[in-house]
């Protein structure tokens, strides 16, 4: 069996939920009351919005020539507060932005990172796209799911290419990229998340040096041959003590 | 190996800060550019022959020159969505040298006469967005952004916009819709963004690497830059090598070096005992090449001549331990997931391609399915608003064409395992061929 297939379980990795007729539009078969008018723009007097969220949405709106451009930043902010784009969160954003909830729901359902169902507080995106799969991402995803079990605080998802194929197989843990991961790292990630610790500090992308041996300096560039420099798993901290992220 | 223009000492600690970037000669190109008339900056871009690094490879200077002149609101948008599987060069660039991008954007906006600019960065790049946001704030505090930059007549605002996870938003018109706060559905072209883009205004859209190269071009001079690389593929390019290689990562190469040198020399090639089976020269959307193509020079034209494309410069290497059916299925599923659903050929084509590949995987297929797959790809190509469908059709069609034997073998083996036996003669394939002849 090749690295990619990784058992039948991998069928599910990265798969989209589909309804009977093949549609993936959520809610296509939700019952709706045709006698009711669509929800309008929420009444500010009846919609309490947390002050901090309001400030963040208004700040975002002020940055664009057209206030509607702030839809995604506003939904990001609401999701951070509520954990997901709940009807209440959408209502609050709609109230501040003076848009209908339907407009914002349409936006929220389009993007993978905006959650339209309740999810755990900590997100773990495991990349299962081509480059990571070639290096065992499907098994890693299975291990990650197993390690997380049914912990409601953990949101473990198979994700499309996260743009870090150099550290494949990898995962994004609450936005921090870590890799290359081994199967045993799944348990460590879960344990560290539960303990509220920094996740796999030795495998964080931010601390990884450029793979190109010539990038070290113009002198090194001259010596680059086929096998002269091995940047196998270079880290910035071998000789430099400065943390670029600090 | 080639000169490092973008990756020169990129791991220097603190390069992401203004102080270190300026100490290394940062923002000197901007000062120089602002002393030139706009036309001269544009001429440098044209002379440089710089081709877009995001995928399409369109000449950047020409794109700038398409924007109408005159005092209207014009926009510059930097496409930092980088979601093409296998591509991760912009990530490293933004994370380690964000000021290079900011400087490039200010110069490009000057050449194009744009006074508002945006960076659309994919939502997953949270850490990179934070770094870039700090860099933009630093640049603004140093008066490199804002009204009348450095005493010139150039005014520019720069806003960082985080996406929320959608491959289609890397497509320029999908990106514009997303930036306007809508679902990221691509638009019909024409009108092209250069005439009617963001907020219906003339818009220049360029990839991160393209814009980050602009300061270098101004520093060297366009004509001097054009001496690097080949005649039609000038300059250096960041290539992201990933998959079954020993040293995956980003490498800066001069365009035109042999592909073998990148895959084997820099990235170390597949592990000992393994051989390259196929490779994608420009991200997962490019038609696959085989080990026979390894000696081709890596540049835009050579890749096009070989029936593929340089794309985003993402080389994905697949070695001979991997079944081609698995690669095809993985890719098709990705494009099915990411199709926005606006155009029927793409929405249905990606879905049915997955279903047929699953049939092949599970042994329920006949060789006729391969012909249907090929014909579906053919019907997707060029029939949609954007190229997402084509992006699946090109690699899948090339895999079916180049590895047909392996697909057929796979089907036979699975049928045997399931006890279905060999398809009886005349095969459905022959039947289909006979029908086509009778019909014509």
Q: Do A144 and A101 belong together in one domain? A: no
Report whether pLDDT(B300) > 60.
Answer: yes
- If one counts the domains in chain A, the total is 2
Cα–Cα nearest to B230, from B57, B409, B426: B57
Taking an 8 Å cut-off on Cβ atoms, the answer to whether B247 and A64 are in contact is no
**Dist CA B331 CA B321 (whole Å):** 17
- Position A22 in a domain: no
With the C-alpha atoms ordered B350, B164, B76, B216, is the resulting torsion angle positive or negative? negative
Report whether pLDDT(A187) > 60.
Answer: yes
Q: Do A159 and A87 belong together in one domain? A: no
The whole-angstrom distance between A189's CA and the closest CA on chain B is 18
Kindly report which listed range (B96-105, B133-142, B359-368) carries the lowest average pLDDT score.
B359-368
**Dist CA B63 CA B207 (whole Å):** 12
Q: Do A114 and A135 belong together in one domain? A: no
B30 close to B116: Cβ distance less than 8 angstroms: no
Domain with A174, as residue range(s), is 122-207
Q: Do A34 and A110 belong together in one domain? A: yes
Is A102 near chain B, with CB under 8 Å? Answer: no
B361 close to B369: Cβ distance less than 8 angstroms: no
Place of tokens 């999908």: B174
- Position A18 in a domain: no
- Position A229 in a domain: no
Is A112 near chain B, with CB under 8 Å? Answer: yes
Q: Do A72 and A103 belong together in one domain? A: yes
Q: Do A128 and A58 belong together in one domain? A: no
Q: Which residues contact B247 (CB under 8 A, 6 or more apart)?
A: A211, A230, A231, A232, B241, B266, B267, B268
Q: Do A109 and A88 belong together in one domain? A: yes
Report whether pLDDT(A209) > 90.
Answer: yes
Is A245 near chain B, with CB under 8 Å? Answer: yes
Tell me the CB-side half-sphere exposure of residue B197, using CA atoms within 13 A: 29
Q: Do A129 and A147 belong together in one domain? A: yes
Residue where one domain finishes, among candidates A69, A92, A118: A118
Report whether pLDDT(A143) > 60.
Answer: yes
Report whether pLDDT(B238) > 50.
Answer: yes
Structure tokens at A6: 């990784």
The CATH number that applies at residue A47 is: 1.10.10.1590
> Distance between alpha carbon B346 and the CA centroid of its chain, in Å?
19
Characterize the bridge pairing of strands B116-121 and B75-80.
parallel
All domains in chain B, ordered by first residue? 18-225 (3.40.50.11540), 239-319 (3.10.20.600), 324-439 (1.20.1440.230)
Q: Do A126 and A203 belong together in one domain? A: yes
- Position A246 in a domain: no
Q: What single string gives the DSSP state of each residue in B107-138?
A: HHHHHHT--EEEEEE-TT-HHHHHHHHHHHHH
Rg (CA), chain B: 23
Residue where one domain finishes, among candidates A118, A135, A151: A118
Q: At A133, phi and psi to the nearest 5? A: -60, -35
Report whether pLDDT(A1) > 70.
Answer: no
Q: What is the mean pLDDT of residues B187-196?
A: 95
Closest partner residue to B323 (CB to CB) among A5, A163, A213 is A5
Interface of B with A in 243-282 (CB under 8 A): 243-244, 247-252, 264-266, 268
Q: Do A54 and A105 belong together in one domain? A: yes
Mean pLDDT (chain B) is: 94
**Dist CA B219 CA B215 (whole Å):** 6
Place of tokens 């348990």: A187
Per-residue pLDDT at A24: 54
Is B91 near chain A, with CB under 8 Å? Answer: yes
Place of tokens 């704030």: B137
Structure tokens at A160: 């499309």
* Local structure of B350: helix, strand or coil: helix
Taking an 8 Å cut-off on Cβ atoms, the answer to whether B159 and A63 are in contact is yes
- Position A241 in a domain: no
The CATH number that applies at residue A161 is: 3.40.30.10
Q: How sure is the predictor about B100, in pLDDT bands with cuts at 50, 70 and 90?
A: very high
Cα–Cα nearest to B163, from B68, B102, B49, B80: B80
Q: Do A66 and A136 belong together in one domain? A: no
Q: Do A132 and A111 belong together in one domain? A: no
Structure tokens at A136: 């065992």
ipTM (interface predicted TM): 0.92
B183 contacts in chain A (CB < 8 Å):
106-107, 110
B125 contacts in chain A (CB < 8 Å):
163
A4 contacts in chain B (CB < 8 Å):
322-323, 326-327, 330
**In a mutagenesis test of the A interface, which of B164, B251, B360 is the best target, namely the one with the most A β-carbons within 10 Å?**
B164
- Position A17 in a domain: no
Closest partner residue to A3 (CB to CB) among B9, B88, B322 is B322
Is A199 near chain B, with CB under 8 Å? Answer: no
- Position A34 in a domain: yes
**Dist CA B198 CA B100 (whole Å):** 24
pLDDT in tens, B311-343: 999 999 999 999 999 999 999 999 999 999 999
B240 contacts in chain A (CB < 8 Å):
165-166
Q: Which residues contact A138 (CB under 8 A, 6 or more apart)?
A: A4, A5, A6, A7, A9, A10, A13, A128
**Dist CA B323 CA B326 (whole Å):** 5
Q: What is the mean pLDDT of residues B8-25?
A: 96
Q: How sure is the predictor about A230, in pLDDT bands with cuts at 50, 70 and 90?
A: very low
| End-to-end CA gap in chain B | 56
């Amino acid at each position: 069996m090749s690295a990619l297939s990784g058992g039948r379980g991998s069928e599910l990795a990265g798969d989209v939920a589909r309804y009977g007729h093949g549609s993936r539009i959520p809610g296509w078969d939700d019952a709706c009351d045709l006698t009711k008018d669509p929800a309008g723009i929420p009444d500010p007097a009846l919609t309490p919005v947390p002050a901090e969220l309001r400030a963040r949405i208004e700040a975002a709106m002020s940055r664009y020539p057209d206030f509607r451009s702030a839809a995604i930043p506003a939904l990001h902010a609401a999701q951070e507060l509520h954990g997901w784009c709940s009807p209440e969160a959408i209502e609050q954003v709609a109230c501040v932005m003076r848009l209908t909830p339907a407009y914002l729901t349409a936006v929220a359902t389009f993007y993978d990172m905006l959650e339209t169902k309740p999810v755990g507080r900590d997100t773990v995106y495991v990349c299962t796209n081509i480059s990571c799969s070639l290096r065992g991402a499907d098994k890693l995803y299975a291990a990650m799911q197993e390690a997380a079990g049914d912990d409601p605080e953990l949101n473990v998802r198979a994700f499309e290419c996260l743009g870090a194929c150099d550290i494949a197989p990898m995962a994004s843990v609450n936005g921090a990229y870590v890799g290359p991961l081994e199967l045993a790292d799944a348990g460590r990630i879960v344990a560290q998340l539960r303990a509220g610790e920094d996740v796999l500090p030795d495998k964080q992308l931010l601390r990884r040096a450029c793979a190109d041996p010539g990038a070290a300096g113009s002198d090194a560039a001259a010596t680059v041959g086929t096998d002269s420099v091995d940047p196998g798993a270079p880290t910035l901290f071998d000789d430099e003590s400065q943390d670029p992220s600090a | 190996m080639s000169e490092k223009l973008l990756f020169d000492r990129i791991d220097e600690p603190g390069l992401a800060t203004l102080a270190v970037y300026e100490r290394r000669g940062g923002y000197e190109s901007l000062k120089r550019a602002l002393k030139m008339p706009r036309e001269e900056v544009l001429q440098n871009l044209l002379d440089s022959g710089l081709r877009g690094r995001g995928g399409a490879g369109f000449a950047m200077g020409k794109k700038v020159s398409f924007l109408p002149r005159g005092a209207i609101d014009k926009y510059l948008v930097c496409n930092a969505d980088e979601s093409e599987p296998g591509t991760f060069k912009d990530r490293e660039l933004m994370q380690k040298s964000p000021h290079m991008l900011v400087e490039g954007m200010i110069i490009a906006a000057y050449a194009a006469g744009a006074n508002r600019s945006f960076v659309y960065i994919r939502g997953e790049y949270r850490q990179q967005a934070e770094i870039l946001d700090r860099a933009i704030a630093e640049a603004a505090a140093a008066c490199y952004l804002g009204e009348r930059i450095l005493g010139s007549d150039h005014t520019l605002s720069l806003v960082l916009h985080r996406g929320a996870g959608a491959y289609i938003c890397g497509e320029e018109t999908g990106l514009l819709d997303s930036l306007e706060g809508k679902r990221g559905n691509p638009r019909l072209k024409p009108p092209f963004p250069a005439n009617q883009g963001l907020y219906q205004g003339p818009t220049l859209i360029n990839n991160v690497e393209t814009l980050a190269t602009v300061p270098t071009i101004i520093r060297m001079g366009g004509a001097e830059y054009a001496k690097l690389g080949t005649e039609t593929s000038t300059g250096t390019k960041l290539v992201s090598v990933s998959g079954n290689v020993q040293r995956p990562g980003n490498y800066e190469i001069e365009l035109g070096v042999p592909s073998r040198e990148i895959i084997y020399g820099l990235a170390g090639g597949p592990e000992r005992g393994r051989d390259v089976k196929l490779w994608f020269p420009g991200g997962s959307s490019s038609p696959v090449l085989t080990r026979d193509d390894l000696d081709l020079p890596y540049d835009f034209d050579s890749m096009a001549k070989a029936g593929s494309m340089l794309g985003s410069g993402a080389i994905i290497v697949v070695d001979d331990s991997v079944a081609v059916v698995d690669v095809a299925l993985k890719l098709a599923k990705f494009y099915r997931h990411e199709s926005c659903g606006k155009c029927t050929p793409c929405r249905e084509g990606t879905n049915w391609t997955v279903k047929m590949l699953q049939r092949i995987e599970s042994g329920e297929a006949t060789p006729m399915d391969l012909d249907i797959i090929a014909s579906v790809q053919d019907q997707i190509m060029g029939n949609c608003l954007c190229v997402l469908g084509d992006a699946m059709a090109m690699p899948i069609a090339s895999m079916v064409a180049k590895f047909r034997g392996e697909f057929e073998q796979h089907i036979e083996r699975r049928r045997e395992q399931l006890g279905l036996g060999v398809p009886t003669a005349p095969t459905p394939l022959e039947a289909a061929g006979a029908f086509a002849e009778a019909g014509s």
